Chain A
Amino acid sequence: LAKTTQPISMDSYEGQEVNITCSHNNIATNDYITWYQQFPSQGPRFIIQGYKTKVTNEVASLFIPADRKSSTLSLPRVSLSDTAVYYCLVVRAGGMRFGAGTRLTVKP
């Protein structure tokens, strides 16, 4: 599975849009890109998954360029409760590898 690289930490303010970019240069044809969110003392929670172009759900948007070597998770109008660690993963059937994640801190 391709290794992912993302910022260690990010700060934002309530109401702002937050974009977290992840690089995955060695992504394979059968791989999907998935993002999870984790609060302290809880298990990770699935946010969104995509293969190419743009995917949007009620929580976030995921932008994937044509070469698929990177992806950007976009969180619209964050609130204090969005403070968490966000993991970018490259996944395929039977395989999922978490990196260190991005610690997002939302300030009032």
Chain B
Amino acid sequence: DAGVTQSPTHLIKTRGQQVTLRCSPKSGHDTVSWYQQALGQGPQFIFQYYEEEERQRGNFPDRFSGHQFPNYSSELNVNALLLGDSALYLCASSPAGAILYEQYFGPGTRLTVT
């Protein structure tokens, strides 16, 4: 059973460019959340998708947008990249209605903005 997968593993972009990160949830999971983790800090919640809709959103600007597809996979898009967007971007999935607030995290995409 494949866990959460993310692509690409690493990415280098230039300031002002746009980037798309991809995530496939764990089998049987229909809820996907995205997090940004700067070096030495804990993950910060960006948003969560369920039934192809953004259900919750953290304190991130509109430059951060997302999408969830009918097969539950998800994309994170970041426009007008800033140097401060350099971080590890984590995707996590969970089954809707789960009793435990247990999220399964992928290995992340390391984004470097130069």
Q: Which residues of A contact B (CB under 8 A)?
A: 32, 34, 41-46, 49, 87, 91-101
Q: Is the Cβ of A91 less than 8 Å from the Cβ of B101?
A: yes
Q: Is the Cβ of A49 less than 8 Å from the Cβ of B102?
A: yes
Type the 1/0 row for B102-114, where 1 means its CB is closer than 8 Å to any CB of A: 1111111000000
Cα of A43 to Cα of B4 in the assembled complex, Å: 10
Which single residue of chain B is at the shortest CB-CB distance from A34?
A: B101
Q: Is the Cβ of B105 less than 8 Å from the Cβ of A95?
A: no
Interface contact tally, CB-CB below 8 A:
49
Q: Is the Cβ of A32 less than 8 Å from the Cβ of B42?
A: no
Nearest CB of B to A98, in Å: 3
Q: Which of B43, B56, B106 contacts A98 (CB 8 A)?
A: B43
Tell me the residues in window 36-57 of chain B with beta carbons closer than 8 Å to chain A beta carbons. 41-45, 48, 55-56
7 more A-B residue pairs beyond the given contacts A46-B102, A94-B48, with a C-beta to C-beta distance below 8 A: A32-B101, A34-B102, A43-B108, A87-B42, A95-B56, A97-B45, A98-B45
Which single residue of chain B is at the shortest CB-CB distance from A97?
A: B45
Q: Which of A41, A92, A96, A99 contacts B45 (CB 8 A)?
A: A96
**Chain A residues, Cβ within 8 Å of B45:** 95-98
Cα of A34 to Cα of B90 in the assembled complex, Å: 18
Q: Can you report 25 A-B residue pairs in the complex whose CB atoms are below 8 A from each other?
A: A34-B101, A34-B102, A41-B107, A42-B105, A42-B108, A43-B105, A43-B106, A43-B107, A44-B43, A44-B90, A44-B105, A45-B105, A46-B102, A46-B103, A46-B104, A49-B102, A87-B42, A91-B101, A92-B101, A93-B101, A94-B56, A97-B45, A98-B42, A98-B43, A98-B45
